[in-house]
């Protein structure tokens, strides 16, 4: 189901970050040289207090004028707006006993319980629909961003942001040089995007950190609130209220991994109370001014071998985009279709055989771009066939792909040949997309905030220049 086209009207007020919060974020970035030096170990960023939607649970005693304060602890609260299959929603995650108060256009509106506390989740997720005529929105007196009426002018794209703890793969979650997602989120908060797209894989901590490894000591793991808080909500705290989110499910959010937390907090459809974890969501669209976003849940779409059943499920979903209108369509899904994470002995690996079988000859010409993550790289690919270009922004925090940056021209992926492109390995970062007349600019930034690639998307082709 599509989100209705919003009426043209003056741009709505943006969620404002306090000057103190903005200064402290900038100060934290400036005092974090470890994030600019991948080899620096155990550099620590000092905690800051931000006037945003994240209020840390204050269990410590406060000293004032030599006296011990008995002030009550404040509830933990994260709030944001996100697009769903029905439109825009405001959401909140809290450990309080009731949902916070939302105000739309200055009028109090009750938030409803989306997901009540349950096993491993001693928190409540609340939600309220945001009508198209909303001009202001607050939750617990904190302002949240609303969509720009004339369409987004700056879109942030991040993906694969969690910290990997699984078996022998032990990422240094306590070292911002080795896991820089919080720094990336802080930079983006200062950049003030008006739409945020997360292309999936928020939750990576699946195994315990060994007792003798200081770099990840104390880390939670498993599908529970402590892990979701550590892997996503706390590091993203400054970015959550800045702009509406489009949350895409990754393979790390399937029901065997981080699916319970995904289903409670970020899944676009209603929470499956009976199962405690939602199954795959059918493709849905979000209609923005002059642009349609199509979101596909590819979490279960295997890449190493063809799954005929899943290919049969995706084929009509892709073909159905022909009925989504005449505006350009961006196909957003975690797993890319004709993309590779790198090469082994000169042969590309990681192309998705299931999605390729479903999408070949079914994507309508209105699909102007494919946007994904999954491979922990930045990548921009054109194809010899009549297909939209692919951009991969999967370098948001998790372990980066091994290998070298190479020219992908000539790669053959499930019968499709790459005609030109960029394959950039070994650098954490994010992508900012901005309209430029009838074209779009996609800029790939490193975690240090410096431009690495400038790309232009026009007429089903992406052209990139390295800085």
pLDDT for res 25: 58
**pLDDT tens profile 167-197:** 999 999 999 999 999 999 999 999 999 999 9
pLDDT for res 61: 25
pLDDT for res 411: 96
Q: Does the pLDDT of residue 298 top 60, yes or no? A: yes
> Counting Cβ atoms within 10 Å, is residue 321 exposed (0-12), middle (13-18) or buried (19+)?
buried
Q: Does the pLDDT of residue 223 top 60, yes or no? A: yes
Rounded mean pLDDT of 260-287?
97
**pLDDT tens profile 103-138:** 999 999 999 999 999 999 999 999 999 999 999 999
Rounded mean pLDDT of 232-237?
98
Q: What is the 3-state secondary structure (H, E, C) of the chain?
A: CEECCCCCCCCCCCCCCCHHHHHHHHHHHHCCHHHHCCCCCCCCCCCCCCCCCCECCCCCCCEECCEECCCCCCCCEEEEEEECCCCEEEEEEECCCCCCEEEECCEEEECEEEECCECCECCEEEEEECCCCCCCEEECCEECCCCCCCCCCCEEEECCCCCCEECCEECCCCCCCCCCHHHHHHHHHHHCCCEEEECCCCCCECCCCCCCCHHHCCCCCCCCHHHHHHHHHCCCCCCCCCCCEEECCCHHHCCCCCHHHHHHHCCCCCCCCCCCCCCCCCCEEEEECCEEEEEECCCCCCCCCCCHHHHHHHHHHHHHHHHCCCCCEEEEECCCCCCCCEEECCEEECCCHHHHHHHCCCCCCCEEEEEECCCCCEEEEEECCCCCCEEEECCCCCCCCCCCCECCCCCEECCEEEEEEEEECCCCEEEEEEEECCEEEEEEEECCCCEEEEEEECCCCEEEEEC
Q: Does the pLDDT of residue 263 top 60, yes or no? A: yes
Mean pLDDT of the chain: 88
pLDDT for res 420: 97
Q: Does the pLDDT of residue 238 top 90, yes or no? A: yes
Q: Does the pLDDT of residue 21 top 60, yes or no? A: no
Kindly report which listed range (75-79, 240-244, 246-250) carries the lowest average pLDDT score.
75-79
């Amino acid at each position: 189901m599509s989100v209705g086209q919003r009426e043209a009207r003056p741009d709505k007020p943006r969620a404002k970050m306090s000057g103190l919060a903005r200064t402290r974020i900038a100060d934290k970035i400036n005092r974090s040289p470890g994030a600019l030096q991948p080899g620096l170990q155990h550099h620590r960023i000092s905690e800051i207090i931000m006037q945003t939607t994240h209020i840390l649970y204050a269990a410590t005693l406060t000293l004032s004028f030599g006296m011990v304060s008995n002030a009550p602890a404040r509830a933990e609260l994260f709030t944001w707006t996100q697009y769903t299959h029905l439109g825009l929603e405001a959401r909140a995650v809290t450990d309080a006993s009731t949902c916070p108060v939302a105000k739309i256009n200055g009028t109090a509106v009750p938030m409803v319980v989306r997901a009540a506390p349950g096993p491993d989740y001693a928190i409540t997720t609340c939600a309220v629909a945001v009508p198209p005529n909303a001009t202001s929105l607050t939750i617990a007196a904190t302002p949240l961003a609303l969509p720009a009426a004339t369409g987004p002018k700056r879109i942030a794209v991040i993906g694969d942001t969690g910290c990997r703890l699984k078996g022998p793969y032990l990422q240094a979650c306590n070292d911002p040089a080795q896991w820089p997602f919080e720094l990336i989120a802080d930079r983006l908060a200062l950049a003030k995007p008006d739409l945020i797209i997360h292309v999936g894989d928020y939750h990576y901590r699946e195994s315990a950190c060994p007792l003798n490894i200081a770099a990840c000591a104390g880390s939670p793991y498993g599908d529970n609130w402590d892990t979701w808080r550590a892997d996503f909500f706390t590091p993203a705290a400054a970015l959550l209220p800045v702009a509406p989110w489009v949350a895409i499910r990754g393979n790390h959010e399937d029901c065997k991994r981080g699916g319970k937390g995904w289903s409670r907090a970020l899944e676009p459809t209603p929470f499956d109370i009976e199962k405690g974890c939602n199954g795959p969501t059918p493709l849905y669209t979000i209609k923005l001014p002059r642009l349609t976003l199509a979101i596909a849940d590819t979490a279960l779409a295997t890449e190493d071998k063809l799954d005929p059943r899943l290919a049969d499920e995706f084929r009509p979903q892709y073909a159905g985009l022909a009925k989504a209108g005449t505006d350009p369509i961006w196909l957003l899904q975690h797993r890319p279709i004709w993309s590779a994470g790198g090469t082994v002995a000169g042969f590309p690996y990681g192309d998705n055989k299931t999605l390729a079988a479903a999408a070949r000859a079914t994507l309508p010409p209105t699909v102007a771009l494919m946007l994904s993550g999954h491979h922990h790289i930045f990548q921009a690919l054109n194809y010899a066939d009549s297909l939209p270009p692919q951009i991969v922004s999967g370098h948001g925090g998790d372990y980066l792909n091994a290998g070298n940056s190479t020219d992908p021209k000539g790669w053959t992926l499930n019968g499709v040949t790459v005609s030109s492109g960029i394959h950039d390995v070994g650098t954490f970062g994010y992508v900012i997309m901005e309209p430029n007349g009838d074209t779009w600019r996609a800029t790939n930034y490193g975690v240090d905030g410096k431009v690495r690639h400038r790309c232009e998307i026009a007429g089903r082709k992406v052209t990139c220049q390295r800085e």
